[in-house]
Structures are given as C-alpha cells and as structure tokens.
Structure 1
Amino acid sequence: MPPNLFVFFLFLTIPCLLGSTAGAIGVIWGTMSSHPLPPSKVVELLKSNNVSKVKLFDADPLVLQALSGSNLVVTVGIPNSMLKTFNSSRKAAESWVHDNVTRYFSHGGAGVRIEYVAVGDEPFLQSYGEQFHPFVIGAAMNIQAALTKANLASEVKVVVPCSFDTFVSESSLPSKGHFRTDLNKTMIQLLTFLSKHHSPFFVTISPFISFQQNKNISLDFTLFKENVRPHNDSHRTYKNSFDLSYDTLVTALSKIGFPEMGIVVARIGWPTDGAPNATSSIAETFMKGLVDHLHSKTGTPLRPRNPPIETFIFSFLDEDQRSITSGNFERHWGVFTFDGQAKYHFNFGLGSKNLVNAQFVEYLPSKWCVMNNNKDMSNATASALEACSISDCTALSPGGSCSNIGWPGNISYAFNSYYQQHDQRADSCDFGGLGLITTVDPSVDNCRFFIELQTSHSTSVHEAYLFLWIILLMAYFFSCLLGFMQ
C-alpha cells in the first residue's frame, strides 16, 4: 500500500480504533429539594466522581454559575409550563436563549459547555393528557430559531425528552412496538424536526416501572442477571428488560420512517426507597448491570454494536419535593442521598472503584423530634398524618426503609420529618404537646431519622439569585446617581 494511501486509511479508521462517544454516561441533577446541597458542593461532588455530563430540568442561574468553568457537558431544560409561551412567541424564545444559553455558553473559555436544550420535561406523559401536545413542536422550532439567531445552532442541539409510555407493545414483544396512537402525528412532526437538525431522540426507559406493571418480566431479567429465562421474539433473543424496551422503541421509530434515528436514553435509574423492590442493594445490582452493559457496547438485537449515544442516570441526588403522583419511590431515585452520601457501592465506569461522598457538609444541630410517650397519645396518628401531608414520609411506605418500625416509631418519624423541614424550629415539634426534642438519634436499623442541611428553603438558590440582582440594581442606581451629581 502506498504511504499516502496508508495515512488516508489510518485517518479514516482512527475514530473506530479510539471508539466513539456512543455509550457515554451522564447524570441528572434535579433540584426539587427543600434543603438542597449548595450548587458549588454538587459540582464538586460530580467532578470527584468523574461524571462528565449533566442534565438539568431547568436553567437555574446559580446552578449554571456553579457549572461555569467546570468543563462538565450540560443539558439545560425548559419546564412544561413554558411551552405554551414559547410556542406562541419567538421573541420569548429568543429572550430565554439569551438569558439561559448565550449568557453562559462556553466558547472554549470559562463558561458552561451546553450541549442540548431539552424542550419540556416528558410533555407526552400519558397522565398529562394532551395539555402540552399542541405546544411542543412550535416551542422546539422557536427555540431552534433563537439558537440560530444567536449563532449557536451548530453547537447546541434542541431535543424533546419523551416519557417511557410514549411507545408501547401490547404483546411485550419489540417487533410489535409502536408509538401511542394519539401521538403518531406529533411524533412524525417531532422526528422530522430532529432529523432535519441532526438532533437525537431523547427518551426515558424505566425498567423499574416496567417490572411493576408487567407480570411477564422477572426481577432477575430486569437486573441483567445471567442465566435468566430469555424472551424470544422471532429469531431474536432478549436477555434483559433494557434491550427489550430499547428495541421496542427502535421498532416504533422504524414504523413511522426513522429507522436510523440516534437515541439518547435521557432518564434511567432504580429507586432505593418508598416501594417494594426499591432498595439500595437491588439498585446497586441494576446500576452495575446497566453500566457494564453500556460499556460493553454490544448494543441490542436490533442495533448490534450500536448502544445509545448517551445515557443519563436518574438521579444524582434524592429530591424530597418531587411529586409522588406516580409513587412514593419518586423521591428516592438518587445514587446519592440528599446530603451527598453514596447509597451503595458503584461507579460510573470511569476508573474510580467506588463513589466518593460529599465533603464538609453543613447540617442543622444534632437534634430530633420524637413522640413524647408520657402524653395522651389518642390524637398522635392524626398529628402524624398532618405532618406527613407537608413533609416527606415516603420511607414509611409499604416496602420502604422505615415500614417496619411500627407504632409509635412511625409517629416519631413523621414528627421528625416535619421538624427538620421547618429548620428545627421549637414550635415545629409541638403537635399539641405530643412532640419532644431529643439529642439521642432515634434511627433504627436501616430506618434513618435524618437531620436537614443548613441550606434552608428560605435561602434557596432562587431567592439567593433574587438577592444578588437587588444588590446589582442598587449598585447600578448609585453609579447613575454619582454620575448625575458629577
């Protein structure tokens, strides 16, 4: 082979030899917490665990400031509540892009490496009905136009995260997969838009919920266990639930004319509390199986050696303010607890042996609120129910980590949750005289009576940002005043 031809051949094959970015693993950083870890602490935790990609549900200013200069690759999100506005107003879309993308975007400098703008948060989720359907495509197009106007369209892609129930198969066989009939027209529009702009299809795959809903799927099949009974579909053999769901989507894409569409698994995980089979040990088995499967790059029967472009683990941290409409487990998806402590042995497949915990976390004082056994306890249950309606008692759910502590332990757990959420104020441990503040940790076995973080809801990132703007406006006002006086 002539030398120049050899160099040309080598140039073509280098990407194959080095491996593509297919199979890259990131995490979702949700911020729906009453007492969140400070953003700078979360970024520090991400970096110490070798995480390289982060997906956000919104574009919180203090979160983006903390990510600035971190070199983490970021997906910013647009909440469903904004879709109607962006569908009807290109100017509103341009303003949002300016404030949340252009302002922070890194051009090789110290900004934020924004990779995607996610339009909506699973707006096609079946439980939402059709309240967001009419606005999704228009909003995506206007955000795309705004990125083009800002000269960022070649670097930032517009995507629409789709829920796990967007595609179905009545027989549970991938070959019978299709999009929900009420979404067919919208999906064709969405995929045409994504294809035109070389954007991937963002989708949630939820083996945990699939296992809960499908009696034909065993837990071992869901957890990537070896020697499980495979599921056969024509001449194809499926050895785990992930491949089964993924290929159901591949079939659905093919049926409406997009067989080669790139796929990003935008959300996948396993909860650790709040439901049967939602435990740390099962989550550890699932996560290790998933990461090993992704890094093997074997792909699926319909897409061999072609794994997802990227996969985002849901979630990085627990969030005690998430909606529990779909189940109490919704507040326990985190690989880390709310305070940045690893729940199990695991790594993101990037060299480190185990997860690294958050360091120098600031907690409220070591005090708990429990039930005073010396009082008349006839109204204790009613008080506990009232406390749980405001605070987070999901660990008391059947199958949860605190489901077996019995009475009066469950009453004390409810009282303490309320007490911590209210920053340990003395009056928040009253409950008509039934509450008692103690310095003795009442935790039992795996049931943790938590202490909240110093960062309270009253000093949330949103209000801190508002305070910052007030200071800046005051400074601007005084500078103008001084200029006028001169």
Structure 2
Amino acid sequence: MYGKISSLWISLLMSLILFCGEIHVRAYLGINWGRMATQKFVPSMVVDLLLQNGIPELRLFQPSFNVLDAFAETNIGLGITLQENFLRNIVEQKQMDDYIHERVKVYTDQGVKFRYVYVGNEPFTKSLYMKKQFNGTIRYLKMARDALDKFNLPDVKATTPHFTDILTNVSKPSEGDFREDIKGKMLEFLDCINRTGAPLFIHIFPIYSVNLYGFDVDFAFFDNKSKFKVVDGKNTYTNLFAFIYDTLVSALAKAGYGDMEIVVGQIGWPTDGYASASEKNAERFYRGLLQYIAKKEGTPLRPNRDIDMYLLGLTDENMVVTDYGPYQRHWGIYKHDGVPKYKIDFTLQDRDIKPSVAKGTVRMPNRWCVFDGKTDHNETLVLKDYDFACAKSDCSAFGAGATCDHLSFTEKVSYAYNMLYQMGNQDMKKCKLLGATLTTNNPSTPDCDFPIEILTAEVVNSGSGLTKKY
C-alpha cells in the first residue's frame, strides 16, 4: 500500500513538473569550449569546472570521442559543431547518418545530454562568403536534421550560428535587415530552421562592433559611463548588446520571422591583444551582462524576455586565426593553467567571487627561453628568428595597446623566443635560436607576463578519417 501511494505521489509530482515545464523554461547560461591551443584542459577537468561553477550548458567545437565520454550522465547540455573541414567531405546522406550515429546517437544512449548540432559556423561571414569558399550550409543542415530524425532524436536541434555581419551596417535597430548579397540564402536558411523549430544562433563581439560602427567604446558596457546613446523613435539604446539584438529582431521581422527564437551563441570580452582588452574590462563587461540577463528585462523590441546565451569562452586559444585582431586568442575566462582571470558569477546571483580553480593541471618547470641581448649578433638574423618564433607560436600580446606592446626590442625577442619554447612543451630544440638562452629568472614585466605552459596529454582529434583535422 505504501509503495502504491509513493508511486502515485511521484507520478503526480512528475506530471506537475512536466506541466510547469511546458509553461516556462528558465533561460540558461552556457559557455563555449574551443581547444585550438597547445596546452588544453582534459575533458574530465572541464566537466568538474562546469559542475562546480553551476554552468549547465557547453558548446564543443571539436567533439572527440574522449571528450564525449566525459559528459556521460552529467546532465550538462551539450552542443557539438560539424566543422567545415568535415562537411566538405560529405557527399551522401549515409556519411552524415554514420557521423550522427557515432557522435550523437551512441552517446545519447550512454547518457550524454545533447541539445544542438551546429552545422558549420558563420558561413555567411563576408571574408568567407565573398571568396565562395563554402556554400553548402543549407544542404548539410537538412542532411543533419534527416539523420537526427532517423535515429529518433527530435529534441536535438540542428542549426547554424551566424556572425553579426549578416546584418547591414545600420545606424538604428529599426533599420535592421540582412545583407543584400546573402538575403536569398538567409531566407532559405530561416525557412529551414523555422520548419524544425530550431533557434537562430547569433555571435556578438562588442569589442569588434563598437569599432565597426564608430561608437564610443563605453557603449559596449552595460554600465555605460559615457553620454553616448542611440535614439530610435520611442526606444533609447544605452548599450551595444540591446542595439545589435534588436537590429536582428528587426531583420527577422522584415523576413517574416518576427517571433523566431534567438540564442546568443557567443558573447564575451577579451583580456589582451587590443587597447581595450583587459581583465579589468572583461570583469566589468561580464558583471553588467549577467546582471542584465538576470533581470529578464529583455530589449526594447522584445521586452520582459529571457535571453539564452553562451559565453566566449572557457580558455584562451593560442592557435586560432586572428582575422579580426590579436584579441581573438584571448577570450578565455580561465588561463591555461586553470586559474580564473577575474571575478564572475555564472549562477547569475551577482556574487563578488572568482570561479573555481581547475584541479589537475601540472605547471611545467620555471624555465624561460630568452634572448641574451648581446649587441654582436647580426640584427637581420635576429629579426628573422624573431619573425619565425612569432609565426610558429603566439605573439598576439604585441597587439596595439596590448599588455606586451610596450616592450623593448630585446624584450620582444625574448617574449617571442619563450612563446615558441613554451608552446613546444619546453623542448630544447625550440630554443635553438640566435642569441637564445635558458634562464630560471622570470623575465616578466609588471604588465607583460612571460607564461609558463602546462603539461597536457590531450590531443584534438576525432578518431575518424573524415574528421581527422578536428
């Protein structure tokens, strides 16, 4: 009798939870984890960080088997990216079916909670679209959806993230529209995801947009301390996020999809590589952003709404391309050694805390490869080795106004030499450069850190011939 009563109450409780869930689903805050770095967190370490910091959602760019293994039975919502180098090899539906089976279906059965399959990434970005490098997004999107349906995975949504340059360069949100050269493709794309109930993912990089639009940089922050604002009819915009978001809302309305769900797939503030990129500004930006979404005020064109978003990102990536600027390698909230750079409360409670430190990283010995600074070296040959070291490592901290922009010639050469040495796991062969020498004395300056990397056994791959470039 007791068992029957308990079962009845459990059934009623579950029904109530499901009923309430249909009425309102709380907005979520996720994070991106890209692994284009020489030293990477191991997957189990990332799972621990997400659980300790209360981060319920993660977007993966390289869905390797060992990474997916770590997320079984964690209840962390996962999105995986089908990157261009993989999609280019897809000729027939069976290839997509096989991939979705091995990367999604198999792991779903093992308790991995998939939410999204991202088909490509920013395919209509001007730099790519103008070169006609990749133009099969909608076809692959349909193939991915067909594969998910074949394996009875209706709750896993297939969509494609876009960069804000799909929008025309407008001065007011009400003028928002899609670029003329991609408008036909965007309409076809919107129809495709609308039919399947998938949201539109948009990437917003405020540090880039304020420069593009010629706005005061303070407009990028939610506690805008400048007098700069944008008045658009009865609506006034005091921060860039609402401005961009409503520009997209206007574009969607003009396309006939005024109620389409929008998810912010990437948003953040870098900590180096640019004049305004700093840990102080990143902390300021995130505090304002998280306060903003916690209040659930929405935007002037979509008031009183939750806004789902994924922060960019978990760690720095010292191997990503820098098409838009050196700061692209410095989005990380965490340093490579697992120490958070600044205070941020992922739970949206606005606590004045730093997130948990990653457990399990092993810092390499305190050794630096530096330039001895002797004047008898051939300067042309030194410059040649300096350029070589930067090309093979990461000198993005030399960006205009960045932390290491002020270094002397000798110090810049030392920094470049050391980055090559560290990114090569302190391999002595990487320090065979003109005038290079090893030292145990930290050559860092008050503003410029000469990093020591961490040991790593993690390799970014997928275990599959089709995706070996992941």
TM-score, with length taken from structure 2: 0.89
CA distance in 1, matches of 2:182, 2:23: 39
> Does the 8 Å contact 1:169/1:176 carry over to 2?
no
In structure 1, what is the equivalent of residue 40 of structure 2? 36
In structure 2, what is the equivalent of residue 427 of structure 1? 429
In structure 2, what is the equivalent of residue 92 of structure 1? 95
Q: 1:141 to 1:18 in 2, by over 3 A?
A: closer
List gaps (5 residues or longer) in structure 1: 1-6, 467-486
CA distance in 2, matches of 1:376, 1:45: 50
Deviation, 1:120, is: 0.3
Q: Deviations over 1:43-80 (max 9, x none)?
A: 22222221110011232212111222222100011002
Q: How is 1:444-463 mapped onto 2 (pairs within 5 angstroms)?
A: 444-455=445-456, 460-462=459-461
In structure 1, what is the equivalent of residue 339 of structure 2? 341
Aligned partner of residue 278 in structure 1, secondary structure: coil
> Does the 8 Å contact 2:290/2:348 carry over to 1?
no
> Does the 8 Å contact 1:341/1:358 carry over to 2?
yes
Q: How is 1:294-373 mapped onto 2 (pairs within 5 angstroms)?
A: 294-308=293-307, 310-351=308-349, 353-373=353-373
Q: How is 1:117-132 mapped onto 2 (pairs within 5 angstroms)?
A: 117-129=117-129, 131=132
In structure 1, what is the equivalent of residue 6 of structure 2? none
Q: How is 1:82-161 mapped onto 2 (pairs within 5 angstroms)?
A: 82-86=86-90, 88-106=91-109, 110-129=110-129, 131=132, 134-152=135-153, 154-161=154-161
> Does the 8 Å contact 2:123/2:129 carry over to 1?
no
CA distance in 2, matches of 1:289, 1:241: 12
In structure 1, what is the equivalent of residue 223 of structure 2? 225
CA distance in 1, matches of 2:255, 2:118: 23
Aligned partner of residue 221 in structure 1, secondary structure: helix
Aligned partner of residue 337 in structure 2, secondary structure: coil
Q: Deviations over 1:121-179 (max 9, x none)?
A: 11111100253563111101111011111011x22011111111011243x20010001
Supply the AA of the counterpart residue of 2:408: G
CA distance in 2, matches of 1:356, 1:298: 29
Which portions of structure 1, spanning 4 or more consecutive aligned residues, are displaced by more than 4 angstroms? 11-19
Q: Deviations over 1:236-288 (max 9, x none)?
A: 11121100000000000000100000000011111111111011111111111
Q: 1:27 to 1:116 in 2, by over 3 A?
A: same
In structure 2, what is the equivalent of residue 469 of structure 1? none
Supply the AA of the counterpart residue of 1:163: F
CA distance in 2, matches of 1:451, 1:405: 18
In structure 2, what is the equivalent of residue 267 of structure 1? 266
In structure 2, what is the equivalent of residue 481 of structure 1? none
Aligned partner of residue 462 in structure 1, secondary structure: coil
> Does the 8 Å contact 1:84/1:139 carry over to 2?
no
In structure 2, what is the equivalent of residue 53 of structure 1? 57
Supply the AA of the counterpart residue of 1:147: L
> Does the 8 Å contact 1:50/1:350 carry over to 2?
no
CA distance in 1, matches of 2:429, 2:197: 57
Q: Which moved more, 1:434-443 or 1:370-379?
A: 370-379
Supply the AA of the counterpart residue of 1:73: G
- Aligned identity (percent) is 32
Aligned partner of residue 51 in structure 1, secondary structure: coil
Aligned residue pair count? 445
Cα RMSD for the two superposed structures: 2.4
Q: Deviations over 1:327-368 (max 9, x none)?
A: 111100111112221111112134563211112311222111
Supply the AA of the counterpart residue of 1:392: D
Q: 1:105 to 1:12 in 2, by over 3 A?
A: closer
CA distance in 2, matches of 1:304, 1:135: 35
